[in-house]
Structures are given as C-alpha cells and as structure tokens.
Amino acid sequence: MFDFENLEVYKKAKELNKIVLSFLRQNKIIDSYLRDQLRRASISMVINIAEGSGKFSKADKRNFYTTARGSVYECTSLFEIIFEEGQIDRNQYNDFYQKFEVVSKMLLALINSQRI
C-alpha cells in the first residue's frame, strides 16, 4: 500500500473527484471550456496529494499539498461560475462548496504539519 492511500484527505478528495466527474457526465450543457477546466482541476487535487505524500522533504510535501489546495480553490471558483450562469441550482452549488471546503481545511492542516 502507498502512503497516500492512508491519508483521509486523499480518500475524501478521490471521492469528491468521482462526484465531480459524474456530475460532468450528466451535465453536458455546461460550456466545454468550464467542463475541461473543472475536470482537470478536480483530478489535479487528487494527484497532487498522492505525489506530495511520496516526497521526502517537508518543503516538497508542502508544495504539492499547496498545489492540491489551489486546485480545490479552482474547482470552487468554477462551480461558482457554473452556478451564476444558471447551470446548477443553489442546493447543488452549496453541496459542492461544502465538500470542497472540507477538503481545503484538511489540506491546510496537512500543509501546516509540514512546516520546517
């Protein structure tokens, strides 16, 4: 088993990525640029957690976890745009927002634990 597979934040991010990808499969009317950006940012969130866990130095780990958190912010911003364009309702937006907020807070704790 790889170290990242034991991280709760990785498990949550991976599950959230599944939800995002399913959402995109079901909502083909969303602008193709937004769809592509959201898909890539959601995947980036997961793979940067995995990659960061494999680094040896705290600084390297922190950088990858910070990048993953940036991808969380990107996803949140994209959902805000999608909501403002009337592509999803407030309940859907709030649900995604809450899920991304949980992952963001978990990543912040992980980032802070990697201080030198």
**Rg value, the chain, Cα:** 14
Terminal Cα distance for the chain, rounded? 27
CATH number at residue 10: 1.20.1440.60
Backbone angles phi, psi at 27, to 5 degrees: -125, 70
Task: Judge whether 13 and 111 are in contact, CB under 8 Å.
Answer: no
Distances (CA, A) of 109 to 6, 22, 40, 76: 16, 28, 24, 19
Count CB-CB contacts under 10 A for residue 25: 9
The sign of the CA dihedral 115, 61, 19, 75 is positive
pLDDT at 102: 98
Question: pTM value?
Answer: 0.96
Q: What is the pLDDT along the chain (116 residues), one digit of tens a residue?
A: 999 999 999 999 999 999 999 999 999 999 999 999 999 999 999 999 999 999 999 999 999 999 999 999 999 999 999 999 999 999 999 999 999 999 999 999 999 999 87
Cβ atoms of 12 and 102 closer than 8 Å: yes
Considering its fold, how many domains does the chain have in total? 1
- Predicted local confidence at residue 77, as pLDDT: 98
Query: What's the pLDDT at 115?
Result: 86
Q: Which domain holds residue 35?
A: 3-113
Q: At 91, which amino acid appears? A: N
